[in-house]
Amino acid sequence: MDEDEIFLNFEEGVEKASNHASHEFAAINTGKANPTMVEGVMVEAYGSRMAIRDMAAISTPDNRTIAITPWDKTTLKAIEKALQTSNVGITPAIMGDVIRLPLPDLTGERRQELVKLVGKHAEDARVGVRKARHDAMDHIKKLQKDGGISEDDLKRGEKGIQSGTDEAIKKINGLLAAKEKDLLTI
Protein backbone atom coordinates (compact mmCIF):
# COMPACT_ATOMS: atom_id res chain seq x y z
CA MET A 1 0.00 0.00 0.00
CA ASP A 2 1.51 3.32 -1.05
CA GLU A 3 1.03 6.75 0.51
CA ASP A 4 -1.70 7.85 -1.94
CA GLU A 5 -3.70 4.69 -1.27
CA ILE A 6 -3.39 5.21 2.50
CA PHE A 7 -4.78 8.75 2.21
CA LEU A 8 -7.54 7.61 -0.15
CA ASN A 9 -8.64 4.90 2.31
CA PHE A 10 -8.49 7.39 5.17
CA GLU A 11 -10.63 9.93 3.30
CA GLU A 12 -13.17 7.22 2.37
CA GLY A 13 -13.42 6.12 6.01
CA VAL A 14 -13.90 9.69 7.22
CA GLU A 15 -16.48 10.43 4.52
CA LYS A 16 -18.38 7.24 5.33
CA ALA A 17 -18.54 8.13 9.05
CA SER A 18 -19.69 11.71 8.33
CA ASN A 19 -22.33 10.60 5.82
CA HIS A 20 -23.63 7.97 8.21
CA ALA A 21 -24.05 10.56 10.95
CA SER A 22 -25.78 12.94 8.56
CA HIS A 23 -28.19 10.20 7.44
CA GLU A 24 -28.94 9.14 11.03
CA PHE A 25 -29.61 12.76 12.01
CA ALA A 26 -32.03 13.21 9.10
CA ALA A 27 -34.03 10.17 10.20
CA ILE A 28 -34.76 11.65 13.64
CA ASN A 29 -38.11 13.33 14.15
CA THR A 30 -37.72 17.00 14.98
CA GLY A 31 -41.44 17.71 14.78
CA LYS A 32 -41.17 18.52 11.08
CA ALA A 33 -42.04 15.93 8.43
CA ASN A 34 -39.07 14.53 6.53
CA PRO A 35 -39.22 11.58 4.09
CA THR A 36 -35.91 10.21 5.40
CA MET A 37 -37.68 9.37 8.66
CA VAL A 38 -39.38 6.40 6.99
CA GLU A 39 -37.60 5.67 3.72
CA GLY A 40 -35.34 3.01 5.23
CA VAL A 41 -38.09 1.06 7.01
CA MET A 42 -37.98 -2.53 5.74
CA VAL A 43 -41.22 -4.12 4.48
CA GLU A 44 -41.99 -7.82 3.94
CA ALA A 45 -43.38 -7.91 0.40
CA TYR A 46 -43.06 -10.12 -2.67
CA GLY A 47 -41.32 -12.79 -0.59
CA SER A 48 -38.43 -10.54 0.46
CA ARG A 49 -37.58 -7.48 2.54
CA MET A 50 -37.58 -4.14 0.75
CA ALA A 51 -37.14 -0.54 1.87
CA ILE A 52 -40.24 1.66 1.61
CA ARG A 53 -38.37 4.03 -0.71
CA ASP A 54 -38.12 1.14 -3.23
CA MET A 55 -41.86 0.44 -3.29
CA ALA A 56 -43.65 3.75 -2.74
CA ALA A 57 -43.55 7.48 -3.30
CA ILE A 58 -42.85 9.35 -0.05
CA SER A 59 -43.91 12.98 0.20
CA THR A 60 -44.63 15.66 2.76
CA PRO A 61 -47.90 17.42 1.91
CA ASP A 62 -47.34 19.73 4.89
CA ASN A 63 -44.68 20.10 7.57
CA ARG A 64 -46.56 17.83 10.03
CA THR A 65 -47.51 14.90 7.74
CA ILE A 66 -45.69 12.25 5.72
CA ALA A 67 -47.68 10.63 2.89
CA ILE A 68 -46.69 7.25 1.45
CA THR A 69 -48.27 6.20 -1.84
CA PRO A 70 -47.39 2.60 -2.77
CA TRP A 71 -46.86 1.91 -6.46
CA ASP A 72 -48.58 -1.47 -5.98
CA LYS A 73 -51.77 -1.00 -3.92
CA THR A 74 -51.58 -4.64 -2.71
CA THR A 75 -48.58 -3.69 -0.53
CA LEU A 76 -50.55 -1.10 1.44
CA LYS A 77 -51.18 -3.37 4.46
CA ALA A 78 -47.58 -4.69 4.45
CA ILE A 79 -46.21 -1.12 4.54
CA GLU A 80 -48.63 -0.18 7.33
CA LYS A 81 -47.55 -3.23 9.37
CA ALA A 82 -43.85 -2.43 8.85
CA LEU A 83 -44.40 1.17 10.01
CA GLN A 84 -46.28 -0.01 13.11
CA THR A 85 -43.50 -2.44 14.11
CA SER A 86 -40.65 -0.04 13.30
CA ASN A 87 -39.20 2.36 15.85
CA VAL A 88 -40.37 5.43 13.92
CA GLY A 89 -42.85 6.25 16.69
CA ILE A 90 -45.61 7.48 14.38
CA THR A 91 -48.95 5.68 13.99
CA PRO A 92 -49.87 5.21 10.31
CA ALA A 93 -53.40 5.82 9.02
CA ILE A 94 -54.62 4.44 5.69
CA MET A 95 -56.73 6.89 3.73
CA GLY A 96 -57.75 5.38 0.41
CA ASP A 97 -54.57 4.44 -1.46
CA VAL A 98 -52.31 6.59 0.74
CA ILE A 99 -50.75 5.96 4.14
CA ARG A 100 -50.58 9.15 6.18
CA LEU A 101 -48.24 9.61 9.13
CA PRO A 102 -49.29 12.62 11.21
CA LEU A 103 -46.36 13.72 13.37
CA PRO A 104 -47.27 14.20 17.02
CA ASP A 105 -46.06 17.22 18.93
CA LEU A 106 -42.79 16.51 20.70
CA THR A 107 -42.83 16.85 24.47
CA GLY A 108 -39.89 18.39 26.29
CA GLU A 109 -38.96 14.97 27.66
CA ARG A 110 -39.04 13.37 24.19
CA ARG A 111 -36.91 16.20 22.80
CA GLN A 112 -34.28 15.51 25.49
CA GLU A 113 -34.33 11.78 24.63
CA LEU A 114 -33.80 12.64 20.96
CA VAL A 115 -30.90 14.98 21.84
CA LYS A 116 -29.25 12.06 23.67
CA LEU A 117 -29.85 9.79 20.67
CA VAL A 118 -28.35 12.37 18.31
CA GLY A 119 -25.35 12.67 20.65
CA LYS A 120 -24.88 8.89 20.50
CA HIS A 121 -24.98 8.94 16.68
CA ALA A 122 -22.43 11.77 16.66
CA GLU A 123 -20.13 9.84 19.00
CA ASP A 124 -20.42 6.74 16.79
CA ALA A 125 -19.39 8.88 13.81
CA ARG A 126 -16.43 10.35 15.74
CA VAL A 127 -15.35 6.81 16.66
CA GLY A 128 -15.50 5.91 12.96
CA VAL A 129 -13.30 8.90 12.10
CA ARG A 130 -10.80 8.01 14.83
CA LYS A 131 -10.69 4.41 13.58
CA ALA A 132 -9.93 5.65 10.06
CA ARG A 133 -7.15 7.85 11.54
CA HIS A 134 -5.74 4.93 13.54
CA ASP A 135 -5.68 2.66 10.48
CA ALA A 136 -4.05 5.34 8.31
CA MET A 137 -1.42 6.10 10.97
CA ASP A 138 -0.60 2.38 11.30
CA HIS A 139 -0.25 1.98 7.54
CA ILE A 140 1.89 5.07 7.06
CA LYS A 141 4.20 4.06 9.95
CA LYS A 142 4.53 0.57 8.44
CA LEU A 143 5.30 2.10 5.05
CA GLN A 144 8.05 4.22 6.60
CA LYS A 145 9.41 1.24 8.54
CA ASP A 146 9.57 -0.81 5.32
CA GLY A 147 11.51 2.00 3.63
CA GLY A 148 8.68 3.18 1.38
CA ILE A 149 8.83 6.80 2.59
CA SER A 150 11.28 9.01 4.46
CA GLU A 151 10.97 10.26 8.05
CA ASP A 152 9.98 13.71 6.74
CA ASP A 153 7.24 12.17 4.56
CA LEU A 154 6.03 10.22 7.60
CA LYS A 155 5.74 13.40 9.69
CA ARG A 156 4.03 15.26 6.83
CA GLY A 157 1.63 12.33 6.35
CA GLU A 158 0.82 12.11 10.07
CA LYS A 159 0.16 15.85 10.12
CA GLY A 160 -2.16 15.55 7.10
CA ILE A 161 -4.06 12.64 8.64
CA GLN A 162 -4.49 14.52 11.92
CA SER A 163 -5.63 17.62 10.05
CA GLY A 164 -8.23 15.58 8.15
CA THR A 165 -9.38 13.99 11.41
CA ASP A 166 -9.78 17.37 13.12
CA GLU A 167 -11.73 18.71 10.14
CA ALA A 168 -14.08 15.70 10.09
CA ILE A 169 -14.71 15.88 13.85
CA LYS A 170 -15.44 19.61 13.50
CA LYS A 171 -17.94 18.85 10.70
CA ILE A 172 -19.68 16.16 12.79
CA ASN A 173 -19.84 18.51 15.79
CA GLY A 174 -21.37 21.18 13.54
CA LEU A 175 -24.02 18.73 12.31
CA LEU A 176 -24.69 17.74 15.93
CA ALA A 177 -25.08 21.34 17.08
CA ALA A 178 -27.48 22.11 14.23
CA LYS A 179 -29.59 19.03 14.95
CA GLU A 180 -29.67 19.74 18.70
CA LYS A 181 -30.78 23.32 17.98
CA ASP A 182 -33.46 22.00 15.64
CA LEU A 183 -34.70 19.56 18.30
CA LEU A 184 -34.72 22.04 21.15
CA THR A 185 -36.33 24.90 19.22
CA ILE A 186 -40.05 24.81 19.85
Q: Which domain holds residue 71?
A: 35-102
CATH of the domain at 44: 3.30.1360.40
Domain boundary among 102, 122, 138: 102
CATH of the domain at 137: 1.10.132.20
123 & 140 share domain: yes
- Tens of pLDDT, residue by residue over 115-155, are 998 999 999 999 999 999 999 999 999 999 988 888 999 99
Domain boundary among 102, 129, 153: 102
113 & 73 share domain: no
- Tens of pLDDT, residue by residue over 12-64, are 999 999 998 888 887 777 777 888 888 888 999 888 999 999 999 999 998 88
- Residue 101 makes CB contacts below 8 A (sequence gap 6+) with 33, 38, 65, 66, 67, 68, 83, 88, 90, 91, 92, 93
11 & 51 share domain: no
Dihedral sign of CA atoms 118, 49, 100, 57 in order? positive
75 & 133 share domain: no
- Tens of pLDDT, residue by residue over 89-113, are 788 989 999 999 998 777 888 888 8
Phi first, then psi: what are they for 83, rounded to 5°?
-65, -35
